[in-house]
Structure 1
Amino acid sequence: MALYWHPYLAELLRQDYGDRLVIEEEVSLGDMPLRADLLLIRRDPNVSLPFPFSLLGKYTLVEYKSPDDAATHDDLVKLEIYGLLYAQREGLTSRQELTLWLLASHFREPMSRRNGAYLDEAQAMGSGVRLGTLDGFPACLIDLTQLPIASEALPLLLVTKGPQERALVTFLVEHYEAYPQHLRWLQELHVQQLREVLAMKKLTAEQIGLDYDALLDLIGEERALGLIGEERALGLIGEERALGLIGEERALGLIGKERVLENLLRLGGEQWLREQLERHTPPPDAPEQS
């Protein structure tokens, strides 16, 4: 099932910038069923923000493309329309009062066209960021895969995949004590890279502060088991839960037949175990399977 990334972006922004930004999701833009992904409102325009959030206006409409999607010229057209609708709805006296952001991991050029939506006076503001004017609105195109790996940009970096994904995961694992709240998002959004980085560094999930119960809450038992390994699971969740999760056959090799039998007796009782044995044991005169 495809992962719906938009709520993660909103939650990460609330986690890191909720004290300085109001974050509203699926912002209605009029009577029609048109909704922008996010509206970011600076709580105090006089409080400075780090790059790239320093490029936010007092009000900023954000359109975000998930890692598997590419931003196209049509998305720039849509962002321009959203800006016009919001400005009209709010009665803004100047388009400079509203900033527009388009976030994506991939941009399909040409994004800007003279005969369509055109980003005028576009200039690079740093790695991965282009700032210009879109029909009078200050506008930023932000390539999430090109942003520098820094603590200030973590809400944006965590909702992208691409050439920097391994470097991001490595950064958070190496600095796990400084970023415990961000580290847990790797379990949901970058679980494969997390598994590979932990293996490369010969670390376990518990050694960097990812306890099994937290894994269960975010990714479920099967994915958590795959991340920490079956043998580690025995110590963390107990033989009974591990037995039910990994199956009797795998458990035999890990904890031995006698302990598997003891656990089965404790879980189901002697009568239940007898019934299971009878069900799985062919009668003496049954023909052998060829």
Structure 2
Amino acid sequence: MTEPETPPRERVTAWHPMLVALLEFYLPSGWRLYPEFLLNRMPLRVDIVVLRLAVQPAGDARKLHSIFGHLRQHTLIEHKGPTDDLEPEDVLALLAYGALYMRHNKLLDPDELCLMAIADRIPAGFVRQVERLRGSFAPVGGGLWRGELNGLLLHGVETREACRQSPTEHLLYMFSRAYLKGAGQILPLDPEEARVYNTLYQQVEQFRRQRGTMAVKDYELARQSYEEVLEQMLAQLPPEKLLAKLTPEQRLEGLTPEQRFEGLTPEQRFEGLTPEQRFEGLTPEEILRAIPPEVRELIAKKLSRGEPQE
């Protein structure tokens, strides 16, 4: 009997590493985050986030209360990026993940585990599938949903609504469909959140380098949205703070060669260049014109006598 083939790993959406980075930054003390979790000895690794209580008592969350305020000792998060919808079959997957996770960790009490869904919206088809399994799932206000699935707590976060309920939830906006349609708009961020926002896309880049562009769904969409928002954020800064946040390449972008060298001495313009780089692009006549007459005369005498040049 041949071994069963390992199913190919599905492409991970670009929003997954961004959500992981966001949760890691604001994760209260005492909790541990697992961006992926191997559910058994077979290659069943799921695109799901696991939060597990590691130290008691746990610290209080400063932000993202819509998520961190509803954790159990173990929480499994099924996340859909702004280009995807929760499907009825996702209920079955979430329930299966929960059962395998409990078996793997020898959990018998369902009160220790929370199943959580984070998406732009909770669609009716997802709710109907919960009800078919004799469960319940209903909105409780502010983009939050509450229910039960086979004795397990079921919590939902609609990012499009939850992000507008409090400044502590504003960063969830970038995981909503409105973020992609808003031409780079984003809800007001405090200085710390602005720094966090800049690091989120870097996680996508790191993830892409590890697994390749073809393994990351919506990579170009995430990159474009990030650049549009970053441009608007930088436009609101005073000039002195703006320059401090730009890379050397960004500072010089759009300037003519004359503008780039304006204010520099000849020595500063050539600083760091090799002799070859200093003369690159010049014709022999232009190079000769740059040499003082007495040096040219000395070179000519040496050449006429066949002396080697230093």
| Class of the TM-score when normalised by the shorter of the 2 chains | 0.5 to 0.7
1:26-65 to structure 2, matched below 5 A, reads 26-36=36-46, 37-42=48-53, 43-44=55-56, 50-65=65-80
Partner AA of 1:207 in structure 2: K
| Identical pairs, percent | 23
In the superposition, the TM-score normalised over structure 1's length comes to 0.66
Given the superposition, is the C-alpha separation of residues 27 and 256 from structure 1 closer, same or farther in structure 2, using an over 3 Å criterion? closer
Q: In structure 1, what is the equivalent of residue 279 of structure 2? A: 274
Gaps of at least 5 residues in structure 2 are 1-11, 203-221, 287-310
Aligned to 1:12: 22
Once the two structures are superposed, residues 213-245 of structure 1 have per-residue CA deviations (whole angstroms, 9 ceiling, x without a partner) of xx65xxxx76xx2xxxxxxx2xxxxxxxx4xxx
Q: Which residue identity is paired with 1:169?
A: I
CA 205–131 in structure 1, closer or farther in 2 if over 3 Å, else same: farther
Give the secondary structure class of the aligned counterpart of 1:87: helix
Give the aligned length.
Answer: 244
Quote the residue 2:186 is aligned against: 169
Change (3 A) 1:205 1:88: farther
Q: Secondary structure at the match of 1:31?
A: coil
Kindly provide the amino acid, as one letter, of the partner of residue 44 in structure 1.
Answer: Q
Give the letter for the 2:241 counterpart: Q
Quote the RMSD (CA, aligned, Å): 3.9
Matched, 1:251 2:266: no
Deviations 1:134-175, CA, capped at 9 Å, x for gaps: 222111222112114435435x61651432686983411xx3
Distance 1:151 1:33, change over 3 A: farther
- The change in CA–CA distance for 1:267 and 1:158 in structure 2 (over 3 A counts) is farther
Matched, 1:144 2:127: no
TM-score, normalisation: structure 2 = 0.63
Q: Deviations over 1:122-142 (max 9, x none)?
A: 222332221111222111222
Which structure is richer in relative contact order (CA contacts within 8 A, separation 6 or more)?
2
| Kept after mapping to 2: 8 A contact 1:119/1:132 | no
Instruction: Name the CA distance, whole Å, in 2 between partners of 1:169 and 1:160.
Output: 11
Q: 1:211 to 1:21 in 2, by over 3 A?
A: farther
